[in-house]
Structure 1
Amino acid sequence: MGLKWTDSLEIALDLIEEHPDVDPKQLHFPQLMQWVIALERFDDDPKHCGERILEAIQLCWMDEAD
């Protein structure tokens, strides 16, 4: 089963693996969205994404990176 937009923590963990040298605080939402969509395990409709979802992913990424 693939990741959905609501799987913020799992998405963040995959992004940390894919982009270990990136500071999530410096990432713009359009780039973040593209990276999420490009994840191998991601399987959801890009149209279901919004700013609140991207913010949740970014916050999880920042929490896990610290």
Structure 2
Amino acid sequence: MELKWVDVQDIAIELSELKPEVDPTQLRFTELRQWVMDLPGFNDDPDHCNERILEAIQQAWIDEIQ
């Protein structure tokens, strides 16, 4: 599956499965951004990312693990 920045929920699921030991509330956005870009199947322009998207991914990840 190809992932884009707008696939917030799918990205959160992938991150929660790949990094179960990580507390997403403690992440820096620079780190989160890089992890998203490193996901298998991620294919989007890095310049299309902004703080609002990263916040949405972080919140979806938090919701996913609760």
> Given the two structures, how large is their TM-score scaled by the length of structure 1?
0.96
Which residue pairs with 1:60 in the alignment?
Answer: 60
Q: Does 1:44 align with 2:44?
A: yes
User: Aligned residue pairs: how many?
Assistant: 66
Rounded to whole Å, the distance in 2 between the matches of 1:24 and 1:64 is 10
Q: Percent identity?
A: 58
Aligned-CA RMSD value: 0.7
Task: Give runs of ≥4 in structure 1 deviating > 4 Å.
Answer: none
> Which sections of structure 2, spanning at least 5 residues, go unmatched?
none
One-letter code of the match for 1:60? Answer: A
How many angstroms does 1:41 deviate by? Answer: 1.5
How many angstroms does 1:18 deviate by? Answer: 1.1
Which residue pairs with 2:24 in the alignment?
Answer: 24
**SS of the residue aligned with 2:41?**
coil
